[in-house]
Structures are given as C-alpha cells and as structure tokens.
Amino acid sequence: MYRSHNCGELTSSNINNEVTLSGWVQKVRDKGFMIWVDLRDRYGITQLIFDEERTSKAILDQAQKLGREFVIQVKGNVIERASKNPNIPTGEIEILVSELTVLNEALLPPFTIEDKTDGGEELRMKYRYLDIRRNPVKEKLIFRAKVAHEVRNYLSKQDFIEVETPYLIKSTPEGARDFVVPSRMNEGQFYALPQSPQTFKQLLMVGGLDKYFQIVKCFRDEDLRADRQPEFTQIDCEMAFVEQEDILDAFEGLTRHLLKEINDVDVEKFPRMTFDDAMKKYGNDKPDIRFGMEFGELNEVAQHKEFNVFNQAELVVAIAVPGGNNYTRKEIDKLTDWVKRPQVGALGMVYVRCNEDGTYKSSVDKFYDQEDLARWAEVTGAKAGDLICVLSGQSNKVRAQLSALRMELAERLGLRNPKQFAPLWVVDFPLLEWDEETERFHAMHHPFTSPKPEDIKLLDSDPAKVRANAYDLVLNGNEIGGGSIRIHDKTTQSLMFDHLGFTKEEAKEQFGFLMNAFEYGAPPHGGIAFGLDRLVAILGGQETIRDFIAFPKNNSGRDVMIDAPAPIDESQLKELNLKLR
Ligand code: ASP
C-alpha cells in the first residue's frame, strides 16, 4: 500500500496516528540536526520532519540526499507542529518519519514547481507534465472537469443522450480548412477530421434520438489567431421537433445551471438582441454588455456642416467614455494613435471634452458650435466629465474600429469585471455573408441553417437581407455558443446549395447522404454548440483558453512537448501512396 492518506487531509484530529504518505518532494530545509521536507501530491502539502534525536541516523542520511521532485514514500507518526501554518489545511501537524523509501529520483526541474514559477511559457509547455504539478494549472484542469461534469449532469437529467460520432469522416463545412488523413486501404483517398459533428447530429435526429449531446473534439485548420486551438472541444447538441424558442430555452437553462453550480451566480432571463442591433449599438455581434458605452450615430447631427471628413463618410459614430474628460491632451493623442494602428485601422479620431460646467471643447470647434456638440452628447448619452470619441468612414469598418476602441477603453477603465456575468442571445443573424475574396455569398453559420420562412422570398432579389433562424449565446463579450434551426426538407436544402454556388453534382457528392436522409422522414430539428474551452475559461474568470487545456498547442499549431507535427518515414509515405514535393 503506497499510502494510507493523501497529502492534503491530515489535521490535529489525526495526532498520534501512524500513517503512510507518498508524493513529490516540494522543498527540503536542512538544518543539519533537523530536516523538514514538504511532501506534495494533488491534494496538498504535508510537512515531514526528521531529527537527530528521534530519527535513526540511516534515515536522516537518506533524507539529506533528497532532491526536489523526488518521488518518495514515508511512514511515520502524526505529531503536533511546533510552529503552525494557518494557511494550509495540514498546517497544525507534521509527520515524524520512521521509514523513508525513494520510489523514484528526479532530475532538477527546468523551472520551479511553485504557484509563481520562474519558467516562461515555451519552457512550461515543453515540460507541461511538470507545469501540471503546479497549483494554478492543476486547479484549472480540475475546474474544467467540474464544468464538464455539470454539463453532463444537467443534460442527462433533461433526457439528452450522449452519442459519439466518428472522427474519420468527410468535410463538414463550418467555414475553415479541413485537417485530412490519408487512407492506406483506399489509395489516393482521404478522410477529413470533423470541423464539428454537424451532419451526424442531424442524422441522429433523422434516426429518432430526439435529444443528443456530445462533449467532442473538433478540428479546424485555421490560421491561428490569438487564443484559438486547431483542436478544441464543443458541447455539441441537437433536438428534434423544436423551434428556435425551444432551443433558446433549453440552453439558457444549461447556462443558468452552470453559472449557479460553478459560480454561485443567479442571472435573470437572458436579454435578446438582434444581429442588426448588436452591430448598430456595439459594432460587434458578441457585445460585452457588462458596461454601457453604446454607440451613438451622429450622421444627422454632424453632417452637412463644413467638415468634409464627416460629410463624405457613410457613418459617423461615437461613444461616450465615462470620466474621459480627465484625459490629458497627450493621453488623447495616444488614444488617437491607438485607433490608427494597422490592427484597428481608423484614419483618425475626433473628440469632444464634456466639461464639468456644461460646456464642450472639441477637436473640431472650427466646424461645430456648442449647440451642435450638445446634440452629440445627447445622442451618445455623454455626461459632464465624459469624453466623446468619434470615428467616421465606411459603416462596417468604422463599427469594427469603434468596437475595438470601446473594448480597449473598458479594459483600461476596469469595466470588464470577470466576476460579473452578462449573458445574452444574439438572434436573427443574416443567412448569407458576402465574401470579397471569392466574390460569392457564403453561409454565415453553415449551409444547413434554415432561412426565416418569411424571408425566403428575398433569396433571389436581395440575398443579403435574408435572415436565418440562427442564434449565438454571448457571455461577457465572447461567443460561447452558436446554432440554428436546420433545413429539414430536400427542396429547401438544394435551394440553399444553389445559392451557395454548389452545382447539383457537387452538392450530391458532398452532401448526398444528408439529402437522401431527408427523403426518409426528417423531423424538424435544430441545435447549438458551445465552445467548452472558452466557456470554462470565462466561468473561471479568465479569457485565455490555453490555460484550461491539459496539452495545448502553441500559436503555430505545434505541440512543443511531443514535437508534433513531424515528418513521417519514407516507408509510411510509400504505404500511403504519398509523395512529397
Ligand atoms: N456545428 C455548429 C458549429 O460548430 C453548431 C451548430 O450549428 O449546432 O458552430
């Protein structure tokens, strides 16, 4: 028996017990006549004591040779500590060791296994198994497991059935590139790894399972923007005989359950916002509504004066920064430089100071008088002491720019409180999205998403106006879930493929299996998928998902610990009938 107790559970109620513990050597303090060792395992730290008077010479000698991270087993007696440590649960006791076995020696770790380590990110990823011994990493993995457990708990109670779907499949269009796997047995043919189980979950609905979920890996070969992983985990869900309202209801329930169980937070009914409103008010389809700073459109009150920049702009739009009148001229110039960085891309920024005495001072005083500026303040909701920041240009671009500024300022002003949770549904997404590069419409969500029946008639005349029965769940400025009501009849589905530019043959080849299934009695159905990595990070009060993944990849999609991807043997290539250029 390696242990009778773990390293986190012994207290003064165990005094005089004979115990056996196993774990890692966290720290050795050697005073010569007395040695203390902190023994660590997943559950905590227990102090061991060896001393000249009470410990045999042989064991003392052995203890002297212990190094950091050695794996040891000890037997001994639980005694009261002379100097207690109120900060840890085992702080009242220590173990007077009578037997010591070194189970495994350890090389000196390349960074300290402490909450605050001296190891940089790259080094910690290379030795991730050592990193995982550190409390902050370990606790995040335990936290993740708890969230996943609560998801299963809740959905199982609601009669959802967890079904596994295959990983070796063919392309599912979620808008990214596929990872492909060559098939040895079928020369020249490839599987694609699922970008999501989308088509399979729809087939499960045709199969009559009614309510499906799966905590599942998805694979997307995208250029890795910050904080994305090429493989990530979804809570994937689908329901039959549902309308949008049923789905929103079911998954608002799940989210509410998680917020309660994990964060002990009760939230009101989730607000809803249309995609158009989100874009207009926040310049973003995943607005952070923990704070205000809503956009105010100034076209009516700022155009047709002498200021040509505004006159020529499609949209003049502004936010009021609370307390921003405190900014010095230099700080405002810096803010202007910030919006002009290529990552944001604004051409410039106009500002208005809202003075405490009710007057205004702007960078465009030459063109606008106090009355004009007062109207701007009214439209943006600016109060005395605020600063109005105005951008102008092409609507979509300028909204994105102002949204970036809004988020940056909120961050600086400490308005993005990670302990506060503000979920909302964004609904009525457009069905199609124009792609400049290919000069074609793409499905904004995916090609199986159902148009709103009342908008179908616009498909030919004004495709960009067609709204979808599609929705996103947004939490604290992050999209944590998205889904749609699906098309469930062959005619609408093939109409959709036509509009997306698939020829009949292409559609048949790629999605014939789904279209066929629709001919055998497909129920109306719909679903949603949550990004588990991000959800866990946000519930954990953070925004980087990497910390919550046991073995994440770096920004080049590389696992630096196992060193993947890597070349394969010539013989393997041959077997697969592949030739490298
Ligand atoms: N398959 C979709 C996605 O991965 C989610 C859904 O429509 O249910 O975004």
Q: What pLDDT is stored for residue 88 in this prediction?
A: 95
- Residue 447 Cβ < 6 Å to ligand 1: no
- Residue 155 Cβ < 6 Å to ligand 1: no
Alpha-carbon distances of 510 from 171, 350, 506, rounded to whole Å: 8, 51, 6
Q: Cα(156) to centroid of ligand 1, in Å?
A: 20
pTM of the full predicted structure? Answer: 0.94
Q: Cα(212) to centroid of ligand 1, in Å?
A: 13
- Residue 483 Cβ < 6 Å to ligand 1: yes
CA atoms within 13 A on the CB side of 240: 18
Q: Cα(344) to centroid of ligand 1, in Å?
A: 29
Q: Quick one: the chain helix, strand, coil %, rounded to 5?
A: 30, 25, 40
Q: Cα(483) to centroid of ligand 1, in Å?
A: 5
Q: Does pLDDT of 175 surpass 90?
A: no
Alpha-carbon distances of 271 from 253, 367, 471, rounded to whole Å: 14, 40, 13
The rounded percent of the chain whose pLDDT value lies above 90 is 94
Q: Does pLDDT of 565 surpass 90?
A: yes
pLDDT in tens, 364-405: 999 999 999 999 999 999 999 999 999 999 999 999 999 999
d(CA 205, CA 110) in angstroms, rounded, equals 51
Q: What pLDDT is stored for residue 71 in this prediction?
A: 98
- Residue 450 Cβ < 6 Å to ligand 1: no
Q: What pLDDT is stored for residue 52 in this prediction?
A: 93
Q: What pLDDT is stored for residue 435 in this prediction?
A: 87
- Residue 76 Cβ < 6 Å to ligand 1: no
The mean pLDDT of 520-533, rounded to a whole number, is 98
DSSP H or E stretch at residue 101: strand 93-104
Q: Cα(133) to centroid of ligand 1, in Å?
A: 35
Q: Does pLDDT of 110 surpass 80?
A: yes
Which residues, in sequence order, are CB contacts of 194 under 8 Å at separation 6+? 165, 166, 167, 169, 172, 200, 216, 218, 219
Rg (CA), the chain: 30
- Residue 479 Cβ < 6 Å to ligand 1: no
Q: Is 180 helix (H, G, I), strand (E, B) or coil?
A: strand
Q: What pLDDT is stored for residue 181 in this prediction?
A: 97
Structure tokens, 63: 């203890």
Q: What pLDDT is stored for residue 171 in this prediction?
A: 82
The mean pLDDT of 6-29, rounded to a whole number, is 98
Q: What pLDDT is stored for residue 231 in this prediction?
A: 97
Q: Cα(129) to centroid of ligand 1, in Å?
A: 32
The mean pLDDT of 85-94, rounded to a whole number, is 97
**Which of 171, 196, 233 to mutate to test ligand 1, by most ligand atoms within 8 A of the CB atom?**
196
d(CA 144, CA 385) in angstroms, rounded, equals 43
Measuring from atom 6 of ligand 1, which residue has the nearest CA? 483
Measuring from atom 8 of ligand 1, which residue has the nearest CA? 528
Q: Does pLDDT of 224 surpass 80?
A: no
- Residue 482 Cβ < 6 Å to ligand 1: yes
- Residue 233 Cβ < 6 Å to ligand 1: no
Q: How far does CA 198 lie from the centroid of its chain?
A: 20
- Residue 540 Cβ < 6 Å to ligand 1: no
Kindly give the number of the ligand 1 atom that is closest to the alpha carbon of 201: 8
Q: Does pLDDT of 117 surpass 90?
A: yes
Q: Cα(248) to centroid of ligand 1, in Å?
A: 14
DSSP letters spanning 384-396 = TT-EEEEEEESHH
Largest Cα span, the chain: 94
Measuring from atom 4 of ligand 1, which residue has the nearest CA? 196
Structure tokens, 459: 């498909």
**Which of 213, 234, 244, 532 to mutate to test ligand 1, by most ligand atoms within 8 A of the CB atom?**
234
Structure tokens, 363: 């960078």
pLDDT in tens, 12-21: 999 999 999 9
- Residue 529 Cβ < 6 Å to ligand 1: yes
Q: Residue ranges for the binding site for ATP? A: 220-222, 229, 479, 531-534
Q: What pLDDT is stored for residue 34 in this prediction?
A: 95
Q: What pLDDT is stored for residue 452 in this prediction?
A: 96
Q: Cα(551) to centroid of ligand 1, in Å?
A: 24
Q: What pLDDT is stored for residue 92 in this prediction?
A: 97
Q: How many residues does the chain have?
A: 581
Measuring from atom 3 of ligand 1, which residue has the nearest CA? 529
